[in-house]
Copies of this chain bind each other. A is one copy, B any other.
C-alpha cells in the first residue's frame, strides 16, 4: 500500500490504556489527513478499546501503520481499509426473498458490495441468479458427507476470493472446518428473534408459543448454531389471526431488511467482533 488520495478507514482494537485517542488522533493530525468521522468504544467488562476512523487525504499508509503499531499495545489489531466495494459470495437454498433483495441492491449500487457468485444446494434459485448475470453454482448435498459437501463449496468459493460469505436463508449447518476459514466473515440471517426459537422451524415454534411479536437476527456464524455474535435484529407485530404460514410471510420482510442492514454495516467496516458480541459504529 503506497501513497493514496481517496477515503480510508482505520480500524483499531486493543486493550484499553490512557491516551489512546490522543495518540491515534495526533498521529493522523500530524500527517495532515482529514478526519471525516471518528468513533470509539471501551467495553467496560473486557477493558478492550475499539476505534474506527474514516479519513481522506494523502499519506504513506505503510509508514502510518508502522507508527501506530509502535504507539499501541502489542496485542492490538490495526487495519487500514480502503473505502471500496467488498466482494461477496452468497449461499442459499430455496427461498428467493433475501437473495432477490441482495441481487437488486447489488445491481443498483445500493449495497457497497458486489455479489461475485451464488452457491445453491438446490437448483431452485438458479434462474433468479442468472437474470442478474451472476454465476450460480449448484452444489447438491445429496448423498454427501456434511464436510465433503462444505469443502466442495469452499473450493468454489475460494476461486472468487470473497471478503465475506452471506447465508441468505441457506438451510444447512456448516461444519467447523468450513467456518474456521472465514472466521467472523460469514453473515447469517436467522428467522427468529434470537435467542428465542433457536434451530428449525422458528415460525412454527413462535406460533405454538403464542408470541405477539416475531423477528429476525443477522449474526456472524460460529461453530455453535445460531449462537454467534449478533449484528442486527428487528421485529414485526403479530396476533392470534396469524398462522405459522402467515407469520413466515410477515417475517420475510424483516429477514431481508435485517440481513441487508447488517451487510451494509459489515461491508462498510462498521462492525467489530468483541467476544461473542459486536460493537457496531452505525
With a cutoff of 8 Å between Cβ atoms, the chain B residues found around residue A120 in the complex are none
B37 A29 Cβ-Cβ under 8 A: no
Interface residues of A in 78-114 (CB under 8 A from B): 96-97, 100-101, 104-105, 107-108, 110
For the complex, give the distance between the alpha carbons of A17 and B277 in Å: 35
In A244-282, which residues have CB < 8 Å from any B CB? 249, 252-253, 257, 260-261, 274-280, 282
Contact B18 A26 (CB under 8 A): no
Residues of B within 8 A of A209 (CB): 194-195, 230, 276-277
Total A residues in contact with B, Cβ cutoff 8 Å: 69
Q: Which of A213-257 contact B (CB under 8 A)?
A: 213, 215, 229-235, 237, 239-241, 243, 249, 252-253, 257
Residues of A within 8 A of B (CB): 18-19, 21-23, 25-26, 28-29, 32, 34-38, 40-44, 96-97, 100-101, 104-105, 107-108, 110, 128, 131-132, 193-197, 209-213, 215, 229-235, 237, 239-241, 243, 249, 252-253, 257, 260-261, 274-280, 282
Can you pick out 17 interface pairs between chain A and chain B where the beta carbons lie within 8 Å of each other? A18-B29, A18-B32, A18-B34, A19-B25, A21-B21, A21-B29, A38-B40, A107-B128, A193-B213, A195-B211, A209-B230, A211-B230, A211-B233, A213-B233, A237-B237, A239-B282, A253-B261
